Amino acid sequence: MTAPRVYTERAAFRLRTAWLAVLSAAALATPFLVSACGGGPPGTPAVRPPVATPAPTTTVGLRLPLNVYLPTVGEQATGEYLVYRVQQHCMRGYGSRYLPHLSSDYIGTTVATWREYESRRYGISERAIAAERGYHLAEEPGGARAPQIATALSLPEREVLSGRTADGRASSTPARGHVVPDDGCAGQAERAVHTDDAEAVQRGNDLVAGLRHEAFERSRSDPRVAAVNRTWSSCMRSKGFAYRDPDAALEDPRWNLRSTRPSRAEIAVATADIACKLRTNLLGVNFAVEAEYENAAIAAHPQELAEVRTHKAAESERLPGLMRRYDRAPSPL
C-alpha cells in the first residue's frame, strides 16, 4: 500500500522551486534498468529504432512512447482528487472535518501546472511565457486558502487517516465506536479508487517512471544531444550570452526564481533561449533521441508493460463512475 497522500489545496504549485525534478520522473534509476537495454558497451541500448526528428515550436503536445503506459495528466489529477474525496468522506464518519476546502478545482490547477512542467522537459519552450515570466513558473492563483496537511490533524485523527499509531503500530482502538479500516481512511481511499490491485498498479507505475528516467538520462549524454547543445550555445553567444546548454541558462545564479517577477536580464536570456532552440531545432532533436531510448526500453520489457497497460485501461474506465459517486462534499458535522 502506498503511503497516505497529504492533501495540499494548491498542490499544483507545491514544487515551485524544483520543477527540474519532473524531468527525471524518478529519484534514482534502479540497477536492473541500466542493464535492461544492454548488449553493447555500458550505457548503449542494443536496439534503438530510429525516430523521425520533428521540428516543434513547443514541446506541448509531444508524446514520448512510454506515455501510453501512464495515466494522462487529467486522469492522474482526477485520481488524486478522488482519493482525497474518499478520505474526506471516510474521515467524516469518524467525526473529522477533513479537507474543508477541497473542490474539483484541484483537478484543473494540477493539470495546468503539470502541463507547464512537461513543457519544460528540455528547458523552457513557450515563447510567450518566456517573454512574460522568463524562467519563472506561473504564479499561484490569487485567493488560495491555506492548505490542510495531515500534520495539522490531532493525533487521534491522524491515527484514523493512516491506520497507524504514533509509534507506527497498526491501530487496534475503535474510533467513535467504529473499527478503523486497514491502513486507515487513506488505505480505504486507495482501494476505492485504485482497486485491490493498487500495489500492482504502483509497481507498474514505478517501472515506467524508472524506464523514463533511464531513457532521459541516457539521452542527455547522446552525441546528437551534445551536438545540438553546442549549436544552441553558439547561437546564444551570437546574441551576447555565454551558456554551455539550456540548463546552464536556467541555473544562472543571477535569477531569483523565488521572487514574484523576473528581472529584465532574465527575460532577455529566456527569449534568446527560445529563439536559439527554434533555430537549432533543439526541442525536436532532444525529443527524437529520448524517444529512441524509450522505444528500446519498451522492447526490453514487453510483458511487464503489457500488464501496466491493462491496469491503466481498467483505471481509466473506472474514473467517470467514481466521479459520479464521490464528487461531492460529505454532509456537515
- pLDDT per residue over 239-271, tens digit each? 999 999 999 999 999 999 989 899 999 999 999
Predicted model pTM: 0.78
Residues 250, 287: Cα–Cα separation, whole Å: 19
Question: Residue 141: which pLDDT band, with cuts at 50, 70 and 90?
Answer: low
243/293 Cα distance (integer angstroms) = 26
At 170 the pLDDT is 80
Residue 18 contacts by C-beta under 8 Å, 6 or more apart in sequence?
none
Residue 53 has what pLDDT?
A: 96
Is the pLDDT score of 145 beyond 50?
no
Is the pLDDT assigned to residue 133 strictly greater than 80? yes
pLDDT exceeds 90 at position 26: no
In the chain, the percentage of residues whose pLDDT exceeds 90 is 56
Q: Collect all residues with Cβ–Cβ distance below 8 Å to 167 and sequence separation of at least 6.
A: none
Do the Cβ atoms of 180 and 39 come closer than 8 Å?
no
Q: For 274-306, what is each residue's pLDDT tens digit?
A: 999 999 999 999 999 999 999 999 999 999 999
Specify the amino acid at residue 35. Answer: S
pLDDT at 201 over 70: yes
* Residue 121 DSSP symbol: B
Asked if 33 contacts 300 with a C-beta cutoff of 8 angstroms, the reply is no
- Per the model's pLDDT, the better-predicted residue between 231 and 12 turns out to be 231
Own/partner pairs for 221-228, CB < 8 Å, 24+ apart? Answer: 221/43, 222/289, 222/293, 224/285, 224/289, 225/285, 225/286, 225/289, 228/280, 228/281, 228/282, 228/285, 228/286
Determine the length of the chain.
333
Q: Which residues contact 144 (CB under 8 A, 6 or more apart)?
A: 9, 10
